[in-house]
Every structure is written in C-alpha cells, then in structure tokens.
Amino acid sequence: MAFLVLPLAGLLIRAPWPTLAQRLAEPQVLEALRLSLVTATVATLVCLLLGVPLAWLLARVTFPGRRLVRALITVPLVLPPVVGGVALLLVLGRRGLIGQWLEATFGISLPFTTAGVVLAEAFVAMPFLVISVEGALHATDLRLEEAAATLGASRWVIFRRVTLPLVAPGIVAGAVLCWARALGEFGATITFAGNFPGRTQTMPLAVYLALETEPEAAIVLSILLLAVSVIILASLRDRWVTSP
C-alpha cells in the first residue's frame, strides 16, 4: 500500500501550491485535460464496441487458432507502447499497409489527428478490457444460458438479457481499467499521433514536455491528471458497488 501511495505523496509534497491555481488556469493545460478525457472516453467506447464481442468469441466459441488470438491480444500489454506506436504507423501511417489505401481511397490520414490519439489509446488499452470481460464470461455459469434457451431465448436475447447483465461487473471493471490506461497513455500516442496542442497533446504528453524545462509545471499537471482520474474512478466505483 505504501508502495502505491508514497509516490503520490511525493508529488503532493513537491507541488508548488502557491502558484497552483494560476498554472491550472493556463488554457493549454485545460485544453490538454479536455483532450485527454475526451480521447480516453472515446477510446474506451471503441474498446467496448470491439472488445466485448471479441471476449465473447474467445470465451464461448471454439475456433481454430483461438489460443493464438488470445495470445495476440496480450501483445499490446507486452510491447513497449512506443513500439506499438511505430507498429501503428507501419500499418495506418501515410505509407503504411492500410494507411496508404485509406488516404488514396477516402483521403483519410490518421497520424497527427485526434482520431489517431483515440486509436493509439484504444490499441494499448484494449487488452485490459478483453481480458477482464473474458474472465467474467468464464466465471458465469454456462447453464444459465442453457436455462434461458429452454425458455425460448435466442442467442442474441441470451447475450443481451442474461450474459451481459451477468458479466456487467466485469465489463465495468474492464472499462475502468481501459479508461485509466488510455488516460495515462504516452508512448504510442506521441509516436503515432504526435504532439500538437489542442489536437493530439494529451496530459501525459504535456507532462513529459513540461518535465524538460519546468518540472514544477509537470508536477502540477500530474496532480491535476491524478485528481481528475481519482475523482471519476471513485465516483464510478461507488455507484457500481452500492447498486445491488
């Protein structure tokens, strides 16, 4: 516990409290914070949209290569995020395998855009969601789904009215982890989406650059990021834990 709390205490002790308010009021800071919250939330939604069906597939359907897919899903966890960013560039960059075609066909270019930030964050955060949801799916009694089938529920109805509510705590936990990971994402984001204030400069990027010249500003930014995420996570947790 101390191991987790002490670094935080260090930040708080070193914070330049007198100038805090003034530093926080800087438009760049608020812009980075807003961008961080928006992209992390959108990235979490993307992960939910793609990750929940994927987790279901992994937990409920036997198909050749399932083990491989499961192993591949953990790749973003193992990969240094900057390498993940380079990998994304190689695929979705201007000269990337798919990026080239995207730009030629639709005129869409993902690097250096806010969408690119979302993509990089989703890439890195996705495993947290998939692993959490798959675990929850494995923990539910399959026979409840069978019971639903004997009552006339189709696969979709079973998924929506039985499976989904049963794994809801797992999905929420996964989404929270996913969101937190996306919020703190640095390496893949700066590599794939670059760093431009208001467009792709999220809080972690701002913190990193501030460290270069103004460590005090970096501490302020870190505290702000921490405070906002702790408040959001704490309020979420309460809501989900207290509901029956």
Partner 1 sequence: MFRRVSRWAAGLPLAVALTAGLTGCGSSDQATPAASSSSGAATALTVFAAASLTETFTELGKTFEAAHPGTSVKFNFSSSATLAQQITQGAPADVFAAASPATMKTVTDASLATAPTTFVRNKLQIAVPADNPAKVNALKDLADPKVKVALCAEQVPCGSAAVKALNAAGLKVTPVTYEQDVKATLTKVELGEVDAALVYTTDVLTAGDKVKGLAFPEADKAINDYPIAALSKTPVPDLAKQFVDLVLSAQGRDVLTKAGFQAP
Partner 2 sequence: MSLHAHLVVARPPFHLDIDLTVAAGQVVALLGPNGAGKTTALRALAGLTGLSDGHITLDDGPLHTLAAERRPIGMVFQDYLLFPHLSALDNVAFGLRCHGASRSDARRRASAWLERVGLAEHARARPRQLSGGQAQRVALARALAVEPRLLLLDEPLAALDARTRLDIRAQLRRHLADFDGATVLVTHDPLEAMVLADRLIVIENGAVVQQGTPTEVARRPRTDYVARLVGLNLHRGIAADRQVKVEEVLFNVAEHLSGPAFVAFSPAAVALYRTRPDGSPRNLWQGRIQGIERHGDNVRVHLDGPITASADITPAALADLDLTPGQQIWAAVKATETHAYPA
Separation between Cα atoms, residue 139 and residue 177, nearest integer Å: 19
For residue 77, the partner it binds in partner 2, partner 1, none, with Cβ less than 5 to 8 A by kind, is none
Separation between Cα atoms, residue 147 and residue 199, nearest integer Å: 50
User: Which CB sits closer to partner 2, 95 or 143?
Assistant: 143
Rg (CA), the chain: 20
Is 212 a residue that touches partner 2 (CB under 8 A)?
no
Q: Closest separation between CB of residue 128 and partner 2, Å?
A: 24
User: Which CB sits closer to partner 2, 64 or 152?
Assistant: 152
For residue 141, the partner it binds in partner 1, partner 2, none, with Cβ less than 5 to 8 A by kind, is partner 2
- The residue with tokens 């639709």 is 106
CA diameter of the chain:
67
If we measure between CA atoms, which residue out of 44, 32, 29, 187 comes closest to residue 118? 44
For residue 161, the partner it binds in partner 2, partner 1, none, with Cβ less than 5 to 8 A by kind, is partner 2
Is 244 a residue that touches partner 2 (CB under 8 A)?
yes
Tokens in use for 7? 């670094």
For residue 1, the partner it binds in partner 2, partner 1, none, with Cβ less than 5 to 8 A by kind, is none
- The residue with tokens 């359907």 is 61
Is 147 a residue that touches partner 2 (CB under 8 A)?
yes
Angle at CA of residue 42, ends 39 and 48, nearest 5°: 140
| Mutual angle of helices 164-184 and 114-139, in 10-degree steps | 140
User: Which CB sits closer to partner 2, 124 or 167?
Assistant: 167
Is 139 a residue that touches partner 2 (CB under 8 A)?
no
Is 243 a residue that touches partner 2 (CB under 8 A)?
no
Is 165 a residue that touches partner 2 (CB under 8 A)?
yes
Q: Which residues bind partner 1 (CB under 8 A)?
A: 6-7, 9-11, 13-14, 80-83, 86, 89-90, 93-95, 111-112, 186-187, 190-191, 193-197, 200-201, 205, 208-213, 215, 218, 222
Residue 77's φ and ψ, nearest 5 degrees, are: -70, -35
| CA atoms 123, 124, 127, 133: torsion sign | negative
Binding site for partner 2 (CB under 8 A): 141, 143-144, 146-154, 157, 161-162, 165-166, 168, 244
